[in-house]
Amino acid sequence: MLLRQTLLYLPAQVLGPLFQLASAFVWTHYLAPAEMGLFALISAAQELAFATTLMWFALFTVRYFDKTSDAGARAKFHASESAVMIASSLATAAGLAVLPLDAGGPLTGVVLASAVSYVVSRSLVSYAAERARVEGDTLVYTMLQMLPPVAGFALSLVLVRVLPASAATVLLGYTIAQAASIAIALTRLSVSVKPQACELATIRQALKFGLPVIIGGLFVWIANNGLRFLVEWREGLEGVGLVTVGRARGVRGAGFASMLTTAAAFPLAVRRAREGGMQEGQAQLVRNGVLLAATLAPAIAGMIAIGAPLITLVVAERYREMTEAVLPMALITGAVRAVRIHFPNQVYLLHERSQATLRFDIWDGVLAMAFGLAGLLMGGVLGCVAGVTVASIATLAITMVGAKREYGFTFPAADLFRIGTATAVMAAAVRAFGVTATVPSLGMAIAIGAISYGASLAMLYPDLTRQAAGLLHGLTRKWA
């Protein structure tokens, strides 16, 4: 069942993020740095809006919504849900109207209208996807995860060719795709058109449940996006646009790599703890962490090794210098955060101590702003990026120390050595190849990296290699 569910949701988890990763490189060929900066800040505002106005109810829905309950209970829930979504949308619109997203002050006119429509529709898509997941509607969930980034990118690409190439034009394309996705989802998801029939007790219960989520979400958002606003304060929208390409793609790329192994990891640890006790659950978390590290390390090292020729190939010239300088630090930041969230954080969740993870989220946000500001003042934009990277490493260290002290939870040194050695061999092989800024050369470098890393791991993990070979042999005989 676990494998089946993972496979069912895999297309949505892969294709949408891939388009998001690729889109920023494409927009460098159409948007001026200032317009790219404005687009980045509005995207950050959307994440903040969802984290503070709707995520709490989304998580409450995931935890408490029961599609098998009686019709009356479902009607009350749907009415409360509609009231929350309407209130969230109005609060978001009001916030965007007064939030200064550029040096000139709050947004106005067409830019404000496009920003409001984009942010509100994107937040509703995110919530609807969670509703679909709760109801087990894989089709709607997949559509909501894939259609907005894929169709939105295609529509925006068409629009920037016929309309002025601006942030507002790009936002319009994505908004159309998001609105269409919501309309399609409403044909399958039950909703209420009577928000006035909402149940205040349900909303109060959701707020009580979600308040830590709002606080934690705010600090996670600060850790992820505070850098953009620091740079805007010192360098303006153009500075944000220049730094965003490498920064956002690096962090998202690391997150995407980690997602390939984490979808079913924590539920498996919970099952192990339930069946064999907490020690067995923690042992499964360690195995999960080793798999995560074995996936992330070569992905990050490989991207750094081929980063310069890849950037030359896909990024517009005016963005290349900054992107090349920022990308390695952004990849490290994203990888370190992924490890914290999916390794030491999860031992606290396994022990049902979610408040502890909130404490680490606060550390991450506070340190990111403090170190980012110090770096900005001392070393400009690159100093700011480096400061945030140091903050993410410091937060991981704090979390690991806590997990070790409270639960004896740590990463096995032997596995760390093996993965590090295989990664070093892979990076050396790619660099020795001498990759150039062409598609065949990049493809060959990736193949060399994969082969050298896989061969190194096979030699460093002989027992696992023999087990895998035996399993493969058994499957071959079965299907022969």
Average pLDDT over residues 189-207: 77
Determine what percent of the chain is predicted with pLDDT higher than 70.
90
Report phi then psi at 152, rounded to 5.
Answer: -65, -40
Whether residue 110 has pLDDT greater than 50? yes
pLDDT: is 158 or 6 the higher one? 158
User: E strands along 351-409, which residues?
Assistant: none
In this structure, what is the dihedral angle of CA atoms 209, 210, 212, 217, given to the nearest 10 degrees?
A: 160
Residue 79 domain flag:
yes
100 forms beta bridges with 106
- Cα–Cα distance measured from residue 38 to residue 166, given in angstroms and rounded to the nearest whole number: 9
Whether residue 337 has pLDDT greater than 80? yes
pLDDT tens string 15-52:
777 777 778 889 999 999 999 999 999 998 998 899 88
Average pLDDT over residues 210-222: 82
Across the chain, mean pLDDT equals 85
pLDDT: is 258 or 92 the higher one? 92
Confidence of residue 391 (pLDDT cuts 50, 70, 90): very high
Measuring CA to CA, which residue among 366, 383, 377, 291 is closest to residue 329? 383
What pLDDT, on the 0 to 100 scale, is given for residue 427? Answer: 94
Residue 53 domain flag:
yes
What pLDDT, on the 0 to 100 scale, is given for residue 432? Answer: 93
Type of residue numbered 241: G
Cβ–Cβ under 8 Å, residues 427 and 306 = no
Residue 316 domain flag:
no
SS3 content of the chain, % helix, strand, coil (to 5): 85, 0, 10
What pLDDT, on the 0 to 100 scale, is given for residue 472? Answer: 60
Range of the domain at 90: 1-198
What pLDDT, on the 0 to 100 scale, is given for residue 471? Answer: 61
Q: Report CA-CA distances (Å) from 157 to 33, 171, 236.
A: 17, 11, 26
Look up residue 297 and give its two tokens. 């390390």
Hey, CA dihedral for 69, 75, 76, 79, is it positive or negative? Answer: positive
Confidence of residue 2 (pLDDT cuts 50, 70, 90): very low
What pLDDT, on the 0 to 100 scale, is given for residue 479? Answer: 54
Average pLDDT over residues 268-279: 81
Residue 93 domain flag:
yes
Terminal CA-CA length for the chain: 26
Hey, CA dihedral for 57, 63, 69, 73, is it positive or negative? Answer: negative
- Cα–Cα distance measured from residue 274 to residue 308, given in angstroms and rounded to the nearest whole number: 48
Average pLDDT over residues 443-450: 94
Measuring CA to CA, which residue among 456, 399, 392, 367 is closest to residue 254? 392
What pLDDT, on the 0 to 100 scale, is given for residue 12? Answer: 60
What pLDDT, on the 0 to 100 scale, is given for residue 68? Answer: 63
- Cα–Cα distance measured from residue 99 to residue 127, given in angstroms and rounded to the nearest whole number: 23
Whether residue 260 has pLDDT greater than 70? no
With b for 16 or more beta-carbon neighbours within 10 A and e for fewer, the 47-74 pattern comes to: bbbbbbbbbbbbbbbeeebeeeeeeeeb
Look up residue 385 and give its two tokens. 């990026």
DSSP string, 265-307: HHHHHHHHHHHH-HHHHHHHHHHHHHHHHHHHHHHHHHHHHHH
Residue 480 domain flag:
no
Confidence of residue 475 (pLDDT cuts 50, 70, 90): low
Average pLDDT over residues 277-290: 87
* Total count of domains within the chain: 1
Confidence of residue 350 (pLDDT cuts 50, 70, 90): confident
Average pLDDT over residues 140-161: 91
- Cα–Cα distance measured from residue 393 to residue 415, given in angstroms and rounded to the nearest whole number: 20
Report phi then psi at 263, rounded to 5.
Answer: -55, -45
Cβ–Cβ under 8 Å, residues 143 and 128 = no
Residue 149 domain flag:
yes
Residue 30 domain flag:
yes
Residue 214 domain flag:
no
pLDDT tens string 63-74:
676 666 677 777
What pLDDT, on the 0 to 100 scale, is given for residue 207? Answer: 81
